Amino acid sequence: MCQVEEDYQHALGRADLPSASKKCVKCKEASAAVVIRAGDRYCRSCFQEFFIHKFRAVLGKTRVIFPGEKVLLAVSGGPSSCSMLRQVQEGLSHTAHKKLRFSPGLVYIDEGGAVGQSAEERRRTVAELQVVFRATGFPFHVVPLEQVLDLPASVVVPGASPSERPASAYKAAVDRFIQSDSSTRRTAPEETTAPDVQESHTHTLQRLIGSVKTLTARDDLLATLRQHLLVHTARSEGYSKLMLGDNCTRLAVKLLSSISLGRGAQLAQDTGFSDSRYGDVTSVRPMRDYSAKEIAFYNHMFSVPSVVTPGLDTKLQADFPSTVSTIYRTSEKLQTAARSSSAAHLSDRCLLCMCSLDTAAEKVSAFQATLISEQLSQTKSPAAPLNPGPRSAAPSGPSCCAAGAEDCGRAAGGGSCCSSAKEPQTGDLRSLLCYSCQLTVRDMSSVEHLPQYILSEAQRRQRRSQMREEITEFLLDDGDDGDEGD
């Protein structure tokens, strides 16, 4: 405690600030050129070696990417993804000490239409990135975000997951790769330029983004659509891995924001090194051990080109290395329960983010209390049911089957009575979403602005759920199979 009469005349001690004039902590000879954290001082050569080693070590330690596998690098033009591209370039060079053994490709999602860029600004940004991409010699694809409006419904359906390989399979794959001498093969780089975007598609995309009221939900929806387009591009071009440029700082921010949005059950997939929620395409984050400060130093010292692209929310953030590192290390300890088959549990997955549903809670739970509180605080309307439960009440009037109508939903679409002609409402969609995606959809003015592939998959799941309820009394339980022959 501070005292009123305490003497403060003596000299106060002063901590020594890190100085770049001190020696490198690794070689102990050259003067430090960069200070990452207090006590972590590196000269230019040692810092480059440290940066490269960390990238290749995380890929070698996890052994998620097998030799010869096709990997699609998602490059946005920012410092982190461009630094990732440089690491892949150097790892595939003939002079690399521990050479990378996969086949890379590049993809850039042009989001200019969503953020209000003009056509000339979008062409200029694409032209700058094409110069960077052509210099690598890798095949690349430029995809406008407007293409998300024409995606098939299979995007939100998990593909067949590859069978789990034994530990010895990786070494065997390395031996086969070396014997085939694949490193000497050179193919002409292929490029897919951005197609001409129709102005009507851009307006539709802007209406979709503009239909979301809050900036948080808008950014979350944009990230979901971007991920859908990346997965579709990887599947269409034959890539089994998708490499993202998320760094430690971004993942720490994402972890806190995901907890605030109620995505605690999905943190392991949202921030972990690998994410296999889509089955046949696995996302990896090799830059997750790098802070934004490290990446900025490396790009500046070794002239890594980057292209600044505006986003929905471009803000400056103070850098707190200790806080970011602590939060990031927390995300490393998160795990998720593995499922035996992704296709068999499709009904248990969120329609948007493809994570496991976290809404199957008991009646006496915080989630159900939140739903009841929300239900009581809103005004019910017959035209737009606000009940977030799995199904709205049946209409009070006579059905089309009771009236003897010939255009019944059963006859028209092969589904149950009046089910196929029913337009999706907000309450209907929310039963197919996790809690966080429910918040995003709740902030939308109308779900009709969602892409058609999402609405089509929602109707398909609802019809299957209703059909299962109709025949549930004829289905056998898992424990009833062996009771018949006794």
Per DSSP, what are the bridge partners of residue 34?
A: 42
Contact status, residue 87 vs residue 193, Cβ threshold 8 Å: no
Helix (H, G, I), strand (E, B) or coil at 438: helix
Contact status, residue 148 vs residue 202, Cβ threshold 8 Å: no
Pairing of strands 241-243, 70-74: parallel
pLDDT in tens, the chain (486 residues): 455 555 555 555 555 555 556 889 989 888 989 988 777 899 999 999 999 999 999 998 888 898 889 999 999 999 999 999 999 999 998 777 778 889 999 999 999 988 888 889 999 999 999 999 999 999 999 999 999 999 999 998 888 877 677 767 777 777 777 777 544 445 555 677 667 788 999 999 999 999 998 888 888 999 999 999 999 999 999 999 999 999 998 998 888 888 888 888 888 888 889 999 998 899 999 999 999 999 999 999 999 999 877 766 654 444 445 566 666 566 666 665 544 444 445 667 898 998 888 776 656 566 667 777 777 776 555 544 444 444 444 444 444 444 444 444 444 344 444 444 445 555 578 888 888 898 888 888 888 889 999 999 999 988 888 888 888 877 766 555 544 444
Per DSSP, what are the bridge partners of residue 143?
A: 109
- Say what the pLDDT of residue 201 is: 92
Angle at 47 between CA 45 and CA 50, to 5 degrees: 110
Contact status, residue 457 vs residue 156, Cβ threshold 8 Å: yes
Residue 42's H or E segment, with its range, is strand 40-42
Contact status, residue 327 vs residue 255, Cβ threshold 8 Å: yes
Burial class (CB in 10 A: 0-12, 13-18, 19+), 333: exposed
Kindly state the tokens that stand for 242.
Answer: 């998708």
Contact status, residue 40 vs residue 71, Cβ threshold 8 Å: no
Residue 122 identity: R
- Say what the pLDDT of residue 183 is: 46
Contact status, residue 48 vs residue 303, Cβ threshold 8 Å: no
Q: In 103-139, which positions are buried (b, 16+ CB within 10 angstroms) versus exposed (e)? A: bbbbbbbbbbbbbebeeeebeebbebbbebbeebebb
Phi-psi region of 158 (alpha: psi -120 to 50; beta: other; left: phi over 0): beta
| Cα radius of gyration (the chain) | 27
Kindly state the tokens that stand for 268.
Answer: 């392991």
Instruction: Name the DSSP letter for residue 416.
Output: S
Residue 192's H or E segment, with its range, is strand 191-192
Provide CB contacts within 8 A for 178, sequence distance 6+: none
Q: Give the CATH number of domain 68-163+186-341; options: 1.10.3720, 3.30.420, 3.30.450, 3.40.50.
A: 3.40.50
φ, ψ for residue 173 (rounded to 5)? -65, -35
Full 3-state SS string of 371-409: HHHHHHHCCCCCCCCCCCCCCCCCCCCCCHHHHCCCCCH
Kindly state the tokens that stand for 146.
Answer: 């407007």
Pairwise CA distance, residues 361 & 166, whole Å: 36
How big, in percent rounded to 5, are the helix, strand and coil portions of the chain? 45, 10, 45
Residue indicated by tokens 């939308």:
444
Contact status, residue 90 vs residue 298, Cβ threshold 8 Å: no
- Say what the pLDDT of residue 436 is: 86
Kindly state the tokens that stand for 255.
Answer: 């972890």
241 closest CA partner among 411, 114, 477, 66: 66
Q: In 174-191, which positions are buried (b, 16+ CB within 10 angstroms) versus exposed (e)? A: eeebeeeeeeeeeeeeee
Instruction: Name the DSSP letter for residue 153.
Output: G
Pairwise CA distance, residues 258 & 275, whole Å: 16
218 closest CA partner among 80, 351, 311, 145: 311
Reported pTM? 0.76
Residue indicated by tokens 């062409």:
123
Task: Show me where the domains of the chain are located.
Answer: 68-163+186-341, 366-471
